[in-house]
Amino acid sequence: MCEPVFSTRVSIKWESDPKPHEPTSTWVFTAGNEEFVDTRINLASSTPDWLITGYEKALATKAGYESTIMFCHALDNLCKPGEMPGADVGHFKNIAGSSDRLEEGAMMNPDIGKNMEYQEVWRTLDPIHSTVSDLKPLGVSTKHVENQVWKLEDSKGAFIKIGEFSQGVAVNAKNEYQCIRLFKQEVVYQYGNESYRIFAPFITGHLKQSNWVKTFQG
């Protein structure tokens, strides 16, 4: 098992972009069992650009990088009706003089609806000492961070808690995507007309009476 990771994206540069920029608030929670929930919220519209759940799989490292990871999607709001979620592969290396990481690869550009090469910069955050208004980079730490993975019984949702932060993505009976972000048990962001109903057990603490099942505790 790995240590859990709470990451935010610092910037993205598509192959057609003149320079890096960051149009979203992107949080990626990766639990100790390598399952993840990834929410990318457009800053201009406050609506999701991309909502993904799934798991990571390490691949043979591409030359010139420190790791290569396949992100296998279980839920993906960019999938068309009836289409099975796919996967994307990222190649990672540390940025000299920084604690940030560079990721390069190719994936779906939600703005134009096709795969493009990209460069992303990622920063690991401190899930214990951060607040919503002050997301602190993770320093050197040997302390284990509690993390949990919860799933809906019908495999239509995933929720991950890391330290004081948590987020979830699910679909309702109409296959409409819903998501939520929490700090402690307070709602930071929610999307979808049934998001509160679906994720209410994590706000109220009434999980024993819910359809959510804890599948991992780290």
- Report pLDDT digits (tens) over 156-180: 999 999 999 999 999 999 999 999 9
CATH of 5-124, one of 2.130.10.10, 1.10.3720.10, 1.20.1250.20, 2.40.128.320: 2.40.128.320
Taken in order 59, 140, 38, 155, the sign of the CA dihedral is positive
Q: Exposed/middle/buried for 143, CB within 10 Å: 0-12, 13-18, 19+?
A: exposed
Closest CA to 30 of 115, 92, 78, 79: 92
pTM: 0.95
- Looking only at the bridges linking them, the beta strands covering 87-94 and 101-109 are antiparallel
- Report pLDDT for 142: 58
The ranges assigned to domains in the chain are: 5-124, 147-217
% the chain with pLDDT above 70 = 99
- Report pLDDT digits (tens) over 99-139: 999 999 998 887 888 889 999 999 999 999 999 999 999 98
- Residue 69 tokens read as 């990871």
Q: Mean of the pLDDT values across residues 41-69?
A: 97
